[in-house]
Amino acid sequence: MSCSNIWERSRILLHFAHLVEKHSNELAALETWNNGKPYEQAAKTELPLFVRLFHYYAGRAGKIHGLTVPVDGLYHVQTLHEPIGVAGQIIIWIYLMRTYYFNTSKKLFCIIKEFINDCSLFLTFSKSNTQAGLPPGVLNIVSGFGPTAGASLASHMDVDKFAFTGSTDIGKIVLELAAKSNLKPATLELGGKSPFIVCEDADIDRAVELAHFALFFNQGQCCCVGSHTFVHERIYDEFLEKSKARVMKRIVNDPFKKGVEQGPQIDSEKIQYCNTKYVTRQILCTRLQLVNVRTRYQWIMIYEL
């Protein structure tokens, strides 16, 4: 792939985007089965954005230029962009489509370790990449557990750059493995949630809706979820009552049904986390009942408000 010309790279990315667009309904359904997010969100928001971004990076293939730097004296200074080499990545399961294009569209050689419970979408994308003309071995998907597959990838001597998206605790381990091996540069995206701030003169109804969306978007499973809301004391009581009312109206059901706002959590571990951290402490100020919903493939658990 590094020996191919820029037009060939652009063609492959555009062909891949076309295949994704052609099979967008099936891919959106697969994302919903894997992740639990509403089908409408996957089909109407994430898939179109996925296609547009691959078009963008296809156009960028021929526009990666260096700089000419003015200096004193009889000297000529310029910078050049060169491929860094093999990029290893551990991605998060929250937004598989977004993490896929961010972690593959700009790479020449890439190895991705995906979430063990949510691997079929990436394998489908990998097949589409091959159909689009991507040479064998350029994109590699590794499915396994963090302490084995993830640690091996982070510490591998032939990996030149590493990226990780996940928790701070695991990020520390990844950074140590990258440093102890070949001192490879590592990019860590460890979340971090700034508060949602509602000022005294805010439109309360609008603020309630935005704060609700920020907290519950993607079943509350988001690295930038609005889990902290700061409200001015003069409007606090009104904001709280309207927020509770909005929570009670939230539509939680089968994610394939039209109009559903929230589907199941990704797995039973996240259900237990919600039970322990939120439900037992009554942070939501409302009663949540755990129910089972039968799907075609397995039992999944969701919260019914």
**Do 225 and 204 share a domain, yes or no?**
yes
* Residue 304 among the catalytic residues: no
| Residue 182 confidence (pLDDT) | 95
Cα atoms found within 13 Å of the Cα of residue 131, Cβ hemisphere only: 13
List pLDDT tens digits, range 9-53. 888 888 888 888 888 888 888 888 877 888 998 888 888 888 888
Instruction: Name the residue among 264, 257, 251, 252 with its Cα closest to residue 298.
Output: 264
Residue bearing tokens 């919600």? 274
**Do 170 and 107 share a domain, yes or no?**
yes
| Residue 181 confidence (pLDDT) | 96
Domain end marker among 189, 220, 239: 189
**Do 258 and 217 share a domain, yes or no?**
yes
> Is there a contact between 286 and 248 (Cβ–Cβ < 8 Å)?
yes
First to last CA, the chain: 51
List pLDDT tens digits, range 161-205. 999 988 888 999 999 999 999 999 999 988 767 788 999 999 999
Does residue 281 form part of some domain? Answer: yes
| Residue 167 confidence (pLDDT) | 83
| Residue 200 confidence (pLDDT) | 92
Q: Give the integer Cα–Cα distance in Å for 46 and 40.
A: 9
> Which of 21, 40, 189, 209 does the annotation list as catalytic?
189
Average pLDDT, the chain: 80
Q: Give the integer Cα–Cα distance in Å for 61 and 78.
A: 20
Percent of the chain, pLDDT > 90?
Answer: 19
Residue 77 or residue 270, greater confidence: 77
Residue range(s) defining the domain that contains residue 210: 196-304
* pTM greater than the 0.85 cutoff: no
- Radius of gyration (Cα) for the chain, nearest Å? 22
**Do 25 and 139 share a domain, yes or no?**
yes
List pLDDT tens digits, range 140-157. 888 888 888 899 999 999
* CATH number of the domain to which 185 belongs: 3.40.605.10
